[in-house]
Amino acid sequence: MNNDQLLKAVTEKAEKWLGPQYDAETRAEVKAMLDSDDKTNLIESFYKDLEFGTGGLRGIMGPGSNRMNIYTVGSATQGLANYLNDCFKELDQISVVVGYDVRHNSRKFAELTADIFSANGIKVYLFDAGCPTPEVSYAIRKLGCQSGVMLTASHNPKEYNGYKAYWSDGAQMISPHDVKTIEYVNAITSVDQIKFEPDKKLIQVVGPELDKEFLEDVHSLSLSPESDARHSGMKIVYTPLHGVGSRLMYRSLEKWGFNEVIHVPEQDIQNGDFPTVKSPNPENHEALDMAIEKAKKVNADIVLAADPDADRIALVVRDKKGEYQLVNGNQLCMLLLSYLITRNAELGRITGNEYCVKTIVTTETIKRIADANNVKCFDCFTGFKWIADVIRNMEGKGRYIGGGEESYGFLAETFCRDKDSISANSLMAEMAAWAADKNMNLYEYLIDIYAKYGFSRERGLSIVRPGKTGAEEIVAMMKNYRENPPKELAGSKVRIVKDYLDLNCRDLDTGKLEKMNFPTTSNVLQFITEAGDKISIRPSGTEPKIKFYIEVRADMPSKDKYEETVVLAEQKIDRILKDLGAE
């Protein structure tokens, strides 16, 4: 389609949004786009429909078929409601949970979602205020609901919002429900099909009692209460980054016995503009600058954080020089699983029936820790719905220890089925207390893990390519990596190529081809070198970017050589990215 054809198509599509079925504000904004000489915004807003993917919706807010607004949210909810009514015809009353975070329009979208569900005869448990994403997952299970929706765009910039859809087990949907829901949502082709008029009798506001029950269940995960008591005065700085983490996190740390939790007052304020940070993403060091400054002032032991919907976590520890260092996502997952496995072993609870879960792009050091401690380690695709799928398949067959991924997410429990910063940060504080009993801080514990199980270093790189041309560029990049895989990376021969799009694992030395055992396919490529380095490449499923995950192995001669080994490993990662053309 050439530019003239594209403009004609989007113009025709946009003109339909001038009809009386759309509200006056939307009509005015669309008309302004149509009248503008610069058609960029018009094209970006209408060149496609915002896709209801396997995790729901996520996009920039504004009018248009490719934006988050009351009509795209309405279509998604009506489609999901239709599917639920078809799936659960035998129930006297279908019910769902609806939660939301601090983002602009999150409450508006949540109330709209509740109204549409109720208009379709579905009972809604609507949270009384912004709540953590994991609490929605928890509430679905606790209240025996058939589905749930969380209005959030997680750690994306302030212009974004999103719609996460969950199934009855509290996990984001997988096949067949994800595919079927998409079919039902795509069948909503007109605003006239959406039932906007609510049945208020079917909407019940919830919150405080669920908060209490959730915190009690989170506290049941504690493995070292004596350590918590001995180090109750440990100084912990926590920031919710303007998000909903403040609803539960301070109370959770208090319940675990920590009474020196220091706030970052400016970031306790819930604000969808996220005014004190460039990006509310705990993966970015800059997002934690204010918390680290506070830590320096009060001489804190650790810094904990969460993203705006309180599912992702962050940890800052003190190195040998007393300087504060951000722990990366792989190390977070590795630290928590190492603690949970080690502590279970100390308590005599490892029987050979335990398991943990990590994603295919997460550090292989975790598997070495699990293997060494007689704990099975499962690999799954990126996304906590796949970790939840392993938990579902293992019910009655094994005991879940924990699971996580490199993108700063961890799940320590089965009563929730999505990543959870409340339980993970509580366990992080306890791990620091337990390590202190062994005369270590968490930086020293990290080095101790590498000394026992082997050193690895990881780095993620995201290349953003927004808009229509960006999406096309990402497709071309993946095609090129598949058709022209690298022969060498950082001087080490590429031995194995794993393509999760066709589930083929190719040994380039022998030519042997094996099928990998996964429940579905995923657009991920992996290269494994002779040196044991692992390089993964995948387009994001929720954002306009392509992601590179680099993990390199190295020999660490002794604990006091850790920093030197890190420098050499980082240099090796630089060479690999250069070889991939992804600097």
Q: How do residues 376-432 score in pLDDT, each as one tens digit? A: 999 999 999 999 999 999 999 999 999 999 999 999 999 999 999 999 999 999 999
Which 3 state secondary structure label does DSSP give 575? helix
pLDDT in the model for residue 407: 92
pLDDT in the model for residue 53: 80
Residues facing 304 on adjacent strands? 238, 315
pLDDT in the model for residue 93: 98
Contact between 73 and 93 (Cβ < 8 Å): no
Average pLDDT score over residue span 434-451: 98
pTM of the model: 0.95
Q: Tokens standing for 87? A: 């799936």
pLDDT at 530 over 80: yes
Query: In order of start, what are the domains of the chain with their CATH numbers?
Result: 1-47 (no CATH), 49-212 (3.40.120.10), 234-453 (3.40.120.10), 455-580 (3.30.310)
pLDDT at 243 over 70: yes
* Packing angle, helices 329-346 and 365-372, rounded to 10: 10
45 an active-site residue? no
Instruction: Please name the residue ranges forming H helices in 438-522.
Output: 442-453, 467-483
Please say whether the dihedral angle defined by the alpha carbons of residues 572, 573, 575 and 579, taken in this order, is positive or negative. positive
pLDDT at 193 over 80: yes
Length of the chain as a residue count: 583
More confident residue, 467 or 373: 373
More confident residue, 582 or 371: 371
Phi-psi region of 510 (alpha: psi -120 to 50; beta: other; left: phi over 0): alpha
Tell me: the pLDDT tens digits for 63-104? 999 999 999 999 999 999 999 999 999 999 999 999 999 999
Residues facing 356 on adjacent strands? 377, 402
Tell me: the pLDDT tens digits for 552-578? 999 999 999 999 999 999 999 999 999
Average pLDDT score over residue span 175-194: 95
Give me the catalytic one of 118, 137, 147, 154. Answer: 154
pLDDT at 216 over 70: yes
Selection from 544, 542, 522, 380 nearest residue 462 by Cα: 544
pLDDT at 468 over 90: no
Please say whether the dihedral angle defined by the alpha carbons of residues 367, 371, 374 and 379, taken in this order, is positive or negative. positive
| Cβ burial, residue 560 (10 Å; 0-12/13-18/19+) | exposed
pLDDT at 542 over 80: no
Q: Tokens standing for 78? A: 């009506």
Residues facing 263 on adjacent strands? 238
Selection from 119, 106, 183 nearest residue 149 by Cα: 106
Q: How far apart are the first and last CA of the chain?
A: 32
CA distance to 4, 31, 61, 75, 80, per residue, from 66 (Å): 19, 16, 9, 12, 19
Average pLDDT score over residue span 332-337: 98
**Strand-by-strand arrangement of the 95-100 sheet:** 56-60, 160-167, 147-151, 95-100, 123-127, 203-206
Residue type at position 318: R
Q: How confident is the model at residue 1 (pLDDT cuts 50, 70, 90)?
A: low
Tell me: the pLDDT tens digits for 5-33? 999 999 999 999 999 999 999 999 999 99
pLDDT in the model for residue 465: 87
Contact between 443 and 449 (Cβ < 8 Å): no
149 alpha-carbon distance from chain centroid? 15
User: Alpha-carbon dihedral of residues 401, 404, 409, 413, nearest 10 degrees?
Assistant: -20
More confident residue, 107 or 51: 107
Quote the CA–CA distance of 253 and 352 in Å, as a whole number. 31
HSE, CB side, 13 Å, CA atoms: give it for residue 483. 6
